[in-house]
Amino acid sequence: MNFVLGGGDTGKTTMLEAVDLLFSPSTSFAVSETDYWMRDITTSLIIDGVVRLDDGVDINTQSNVAYPWHWDGKEAIVPDHNEETGGNDEVYRVRFTANDQQEALWEIIQPDENTIRFSVGLRRQIGLVSLPTDDRNDKDLRLVFGSALDRHIGDPSLRSRIGKQVASINLQDELSKEAKEALAALDAKFEEKALPSGVSVGLTSSKGVSIGALVGLLAQKNAETQLPISSWGAGTRRLASLEIAAANNMTPSFVTVDEIECGLVSPLVAAAIRVRCPTVDIIELILARELECFPLQPRPFNMGTIGVSVSVLKKALPALHMPALSKGDASRLLRVTYQTINIFAADGVLEVQRLRNPKSRQFLDAVTLDSVHGFERRFVSLGHLSRHNKRASGPFKMHLEAEGICPEDARDGMSRYYQRKMITSCLPRLGFSVPEPTPVDVGSTS
The b-or-e profile of 117-135 (16+ CB within 10 A means b, else e) is ebbeebbbbbbbbbbbeee
Segment 129-169, tens digit of pLDDT:
777 766 445 677 777 766 777 777 777 777 778 777 777 77
Domain boundaries, the chain: 26-126, 152-214, 227-316, 324-430
Q: In the prediction, which pLDDT does 414 show?
A: 92
Q: How many Å is the Cα radius of gyration of the chain?
A: 35
Q: In the prediction, which pLDDT does 339 show?
A: 92
Q: In the prediction, which pLDDT does 361 show?
A: 67
CA end-to-end span of the chain: 22
φ/ψ (deg, to 5) at 366: -115, 145
- Let me know: does 110 contact 116? Beta carbons within 8 Å: yes
Segment 354-412, tens digit of pLDDT:
887 776 666 788 999 999 999 999 999 999 999 999 999 999 999 999 999 999 988 88
pTM of the model: 0.48
Which residue type does 98 have? A
Question: Residue 32 — pLDDT band, cuts 50, 70, 90?
Answer: confident
E strand or H helix at 46, and its extent? Answer: strand 45-51
Segment 92-111, tens digit of pLDDT:
999 999 988 888 899 999 99
**Which of 225-234, 281-290, 383-392 is most confident?**
383-392
Segment 336-347, tens digit of pLDDT:
999 999 999 999
Give the SS3 label for residue 63: coil
DSSP 8-state code for residue 33 = G
Q: In the prediction, which pLDDT does 303 show?
A: 39
